[in-house]
Structure 1
Amino acid sequence: MKAVLPGWEVIKIPERGTADLLNQSLRSYDEAFFLTLHGGDILRPEFMEQLQAWSQELQDGDGGIVIQPRLSFTMRTQNATQDCAVLWRTSAVLTGTCPGFAGRNLLPFDPLVLYDQYIRIRHAYRWKMVSTDDYIPARAYPEQPARNPELEASELMPIIQRCRTLEEERPEALFSPVISVVICTYNNADYLPWAVRSVMAQTDPVWELLIIDDGSTDATPAYLDTLQGDPRIRCYRQQRNEGKAACLNAALQRVRGKWLLELDADDWLAPESLVRLSEVALYSEDSGVIYADHYEWTERRSGELVFRGVKKPPEALSRQWLLEEGPALAPRMFRVGLLIKHNGWSTTVPKGGRLYEDIELLARLALEETMRYLPLPLYHRRIRSGSMTRMHERLYKPWSRSISAEIR
């Protein structure tokens, strides 16, 4: 790079905290364009001359140039910025409703920061697409490992693409949804926006989202204020922290859908989750609960997510198995009428519904209600070291014994 682009300032950005470091670098940047490359990319001597020629052809309505290796130029997939060098128009990056690059609260994986920005700019500007033999991406070498797992790209890119589009084209009227998605959150401002984006990006647009803020003291209320423009999203705030069961019951009183789907604030839905669950619900008149498989991710202290595979629950759930195993059943969707019949989530059990409220409810329902299993991974579960369940694992066995005595 130093030989091919003499005089250019080179800033090395690690793949941790990518957006924050990019935004920090741009605060004092006063040039019209900047170039991003990936570690391991190679530039040949002729690249500089080509870049100057392409730049001179740019018009005011162009957001920048996507520079692809010639061999892949005919394969213009939505993976555009992952294997490409990009010349960005600085003003296009720093303007709009969300100026700058999206942080970790909007994207769980740092390597997708550039792709997210590429999609946002695409709604307001044109992209100039070029190819050259003088740019060789790191991925051209077989021994170079892929930056992201295949699942990460295939699952997250549709969410980014659809969500960015829908942010620009918000609906004008409310719908009568089949499914009401409910997020109960407490001090999860660093995770909540991505969960919301996964709902907004659903292939089935007929949904409503209820967010119950359980007295958060972080930036959650400020973020919820930004969602007021979408009539499908309704936000409510508990005056004090009351626990998960109380929040879910507050949502149950307000939902308009026939089914209630729980979504934890630090998890997210696969793009086709609602359409698949709606299809099953249509033919499950005798069922009170629908559940499916999920992808599992472990979050390291650095914030990196490590894929742990697809988790499959049993096709039949018994009260005994639920209480003995204490499984993480996600996604789980309940018929609203059935929840009302059973008085929702209990706040009188041990721990007051702040812990294991899902297991308690499922164990009660397993005694008399039909539960339908859908063998598809439709949910992404993030396991954090600081989660309530992780911090109180030792409490589960005594809690389970006391619940077993109550539910017979």
Structure 2
Amino acid sequence: MNEKISVILPAHNAGPFISEAARSILVQTHENLELIVIDDGSTDRTPAILQDIAASDSRVVIVSRPNRGLVASLNEAVQLATGGFIARMDADDVSAPERLMHQLRYIRSHDIDLCGTGVEQFGEAQQVRFYPEQDDSIKLALTLGTPFAHPTVFGRAAIFKQFPYSRHALHYEDLELWCRMAMSGVRFGNVPETLLRYRVHQGQVSHVHRLEQIDGTLATLGDYWAFRLRGEGAPLGDSRASGRDFADLLVQSGPDYIRCGLGGELRRFLFSVLPYADITRSEAIELSLKTCGIFPADVQVIKLASRLLLNREQYCRVRNRFANLRAAI
């Protein structure tokens, strides 16, 4: 099991972190690898640091060119990859030494196409995060948001080359890609280990482009939910479900979310979507009661749901924020 692994690492003005990130790859216990770094128009010390690293290890490939953005850098690196597997890495994170070995073994033993791992957040936030492990749980979790830590993703090179990142999904390119893969039958998994230290800081895309991420996320999730509502194998462009159908499906799927450990995620998503569904007062009360069936131990749920769902005037003022989602479903 000594297959070559191509690690793709986009970098833009990553001077404070890039050396630690790159060296965490070069000391991997799985040594048959190449590290492809796309220097995306950096104006700080990043190019000089990368040249020093490349001079000490022939496995490092550096491409320096004008800034084109993250999506272009990722796709360029994928096309340059010569390994049978591709691993993502960010310029500000740190991989555990055994990360690549464990992910390669996991993909082989579970006969899947792509997997992530748990992460240990550090920096401005400290938290250990795990993600659903099984393919069906991951695809269910995808209805509520991304089920992977993007810099931990590892998969078959053929899959990455078949599904490039979309230039129309800037700042939410990972979620859009996972949804597109899921709708095409790509098999997912997550290694139940923390194999990457994920740095949290204000310069991250998730902080700088938060509003664009929210708008794109809602539109993407709407498309994915539409696919699930139609059923796998149904043609795209089928009749769209109403907001009421969408909300009802979330509630009906409640036991599945609970079984997969996604109760908290469902609760947050449910109360951010239900108020904007086209439902009558009686339907709102019915859905509130169903929600209580999902979370029977939470005595505040019925009060919260009723207050949210029945305050129609308040919802109308912010309804346009969810226009993309409702149009998609």
Q: Which of the five TM-score ranges fits, normalised by the shorter chain?
A: 0.5 to 0.7
Is structure 2 residue 190 aligned with structure 1 residue 373? Answer: yes
Is structure 2 residue 297 aligned with structure 1 residue 297? Answer: no
**Who is 1:194 aligned against?**
20
Q: Distance in 2 between matches of 1:309 and 1:401?
A: 26
Cα offset, 1:281, TM superposition: 3.0
Q: Distance in 2 between matches of 1:406 and 1:235?
A: 37
Matched residue SS, 1:228: helix
State the Cα RMSD in Å. Answer: 2.1
Match of 1:232 among 38, 56, 59: 59
**Who is 1:204 aligned against?**
30
**Who is 2:128 aligned against?**
310
Unaligned runs of 5+ in 1: 1-175, 300-305
Cα offset, 1:381, TM superposition: 0.3
Cα offset, 1:264, TM superposition: 0.6
Question: TM-score scaled by structure 1?
Answer: 0.50
**Who is 1:395 aligned against?**
212
| AA at the equivalent of 1:400 | T
Identical aligned residues as a percent: 28
Higher Rg of the two aligned structures: 1
Decide whether the 8 Å contact of 1:177 with 1:256 is kept in 2.
no
Is the helix fraction higher in 1 or 2?
2
Unaligned runs of 5+ in 2: 228-329
Decide whether the 8 Å contact of 2:145 with 2:217 is kept in 1.
no
Decide whether the 8 Å contact of 1:211 with 1:236 is kept in 2.
yes
Matched residue SS, 1:256: coil
Decide whether the 8 Å contact of 1:293 with 1:374 is kept in 2.
yes
Cα offset, 1:322, TM superposition: 2.8
Cα offset, 1:361, TM superposition: 0.8
Is structure 2 residue 142 aligned with structure 1 residue 322? Answer: yes
Matched residue SS, 2:203: coil
**Residues 357-387 of structure 1 deviation map (CA, whole Å, 9 limit, x = unaligned):** 1111111112211102211111110011221
| AA at the equivalent of 1:357 | E
Decide whether the 8 Å contact of 1:244 with 1:357 is kept in 2.
no
Aligned residues: 219
Cα offset, 1:250, TM superposition: 0.4
Is structure 2 residue 40 aligned with structure 1 residue 214? Answer: yes
Matched residue SS, 1:217: coil
| AA at the equivalent of 1:397 | I
Is structure 2 residue 87 aligned with structure 1 residue 261? Answer: yes
Cα offset, 1:328, TM superposition: 5.5
| AA at the equivalent of 2:52 | T
Distance 1:357 1:291, change over 3 A: same
Q: Distance in 1 between matches of 2:13 and 2:203?
A: 12
Distance 1:246 1:323, change over 3 A: farther
Is the strand fraction higher in 1 or 2?
1
**Residues 249-308 of structure 1 deviation map (CA, whole Å, 9 limit, x = unaligned):** 101111111111111100010111111112223334x42211111111133xxxxxx6x2
Matched residue SS, 2:181: helix
Cα offset, 1:226, TM superposition: 1.2
Q: Distance in 2 between matches of 1:298 and 1:266?
A: 11
Match of 1:362 among 167, 170, 178: 178
Q: Distance in 2 between matches of 1:388 and 1:328?
A: 16
**Residues 325-367 of structure 1 deviation map (CA, whole Å, 9 limit, x = unaligned):** 345515111211012222x111133xxx3x1211111111122
Asked which structure has the greater RCO (Cα within 8 Å, sep 6+), the reply is 2
Matched residue SS, 2:101: helix
Matched residue SS, 2:53: coil
| AA at the equivalent of 1:220 | T
**Who is 1:74 aligned against?**
none
Question: TM-score scaled by structure 2?
Answer: 0.62
| AA at the equivalent of 1:187 | N
